[in-house]
Amino acid sequence: MSQLIQIIGLPFLACVMMGSVLGYLGIHVLKREVIFVDIALAQVAAVGAIASHLIFEAHEGSVLSYICSLAAVLVVAAFYALARISIVQISLEAVIGISYAIAAAAALFLVGVAPGGHIHIQEILSGSLLWTSWSDVLTALLVFFAAGFFFYLFRKPLINLSNNYQQVYAKKAGAVFWDFIFYLLLGVIITLSVQMGGIVVVFAYLIMPATISAVFTTRLGWQLIIIWIAAIVASISGLLFAYYLDFSIGPAIALFLGVELVVTALCHRVSKLLTS
């Protein structure tokens, strides 16, 4: 038991932190109907990390790698905020999809150029949760706390914008600033989360727990509790599954989050049939 705790203890703490903060952000993402913004920002962050490795020979998880990833995310965050009012021919979700495709193509190109690129892209996809250290946990705690503080400080305009994201007045220039703040904070969290857990687990934590909570309630307090429970159960299950079956941690956690979502949808469907 002590060996098990030593191996999965720190990864579990990292998963709980990521699941909690990304789950809350997922509520905003679902309301805004920009489901793939996280995977697009994660892919942009990955491009920044690969570029830092290619240009500056920065190692995965280094400060320079994080700065390069964050710089790329900053540019895209500003682009998304402006795209809502400047690009009217197509939806923002389509713009996000196009930017993801471009970022993915850029990542594949850089991987082909960079030495050892295939190893680098594998780490970005599946993460390195197994090698989580105390410094990783403390860094994540500080970054997530700072981002959470700003989300709390600006909660009224951010929540109001998310609740009325499809309305005409939400597309006016006055909302661009708060849109940028949201995508910036989301990008900061995703950039660090991708370095810890990889793109797959970040996307899973952002969307699936929030979707599960939306099935049961629209009250924010209860949604956060459901998100927290879903993230913890999937994290423990995925870590144990990966430990005993020698499987990659990130995909295992995403797998169990998917199972939770399917079970929730089936239970909701059955309850509707029984009450109809």
Cα-Cα-Cα-Cα dihedral sign, residues 248, 19, 233, 264: negative
Angle between helices 176-216 and 220-245 (to 10 degrees): 70
Q: Residue 11 domain-assigned? A: yes
22, 29, 184: which is closest to 176 by C-alpha? Answer: 184
Token pair belonging to 43: 């892919």
Q: Residue 236 domain-assigned? A: yes
Residue 168 has a pLDDT of 52
Q: Residue 276 domain-assigned? A: no
17, 44, 16: which is closest to 183 by C-alpha? Answer: 44
Q: Number of folded domains in the chain? A: 1
**35-49 pLDDT per residue, tens:** 888 788 888 888 888
Q: Which residues fall within 8 angstroms of residue 16, CB to CB, at 6 or more apart?
A: 231, 232, 235
Give the three-class secondary structure for 184.
helix
Residue 128 has a pLDDT of 73
pTM, two decimal places:
0.86
Q: Residue 275 domain-assigned? A: no
CATH at residue 37: 1.10.3470.10
**71-94 pLDDT per residue, tens:** 888 899 888 888 877 777 788 888
Determine the structural domain holding residue 266 and report its residue range: 2-270
Residue 127 has a pLDDT of 66
40, 28, 19: which is closest to 191 by C-alpha? Answer: 40
Residue 133 has a pLDDT of 86
Angle, alpha carbons 188-189-193 (nearest 5°): 120
266, 229, 256: which is closest to 23 by C-alpha? Answer: 229
Q: Residue 23 domain-assigned? A: yes
Q: Which residues fall within 8 angstroms of residue 137, CB to CB, at 6 or more apart?
A: 10, 13, 14, 17
Residue 249 has a pLDDT of 84
- Backbone conformation region of residue 116, classed left if phi is above 0, alpha if psi is from -120 to 50, else beta: left
The alpha helices in the chain, defined as continuous H runs, are: 2-32, 37-55, 63-86, 92-113, 117-126, 134-153, 155-163, 176-216, 220-245, 249-275
Q: Which residue type is seen at 186?
A: L
Q: Residue 247 domain-assigned? A: yes
Task: Kindly indicate the confidence band of residue 259, based on its pLDDT and cuts at 50, 70 and 90.
Answer: very high
Gap between the Cα atoms of 121 and 9, Å rounded: 25
Percent of the chain with pLDDT over 70: 91
Name which of 8-17, 85-94, 215-224, 238-247 the model is least confident about.
85-94
Q: Residue 56 domain-assigned? A: yes
**189-218 pLDDT per residue, tens:** 988 888 788 888 888 999 999 999 999 888
Token pair 């005993």 in the structure block, residue: 244
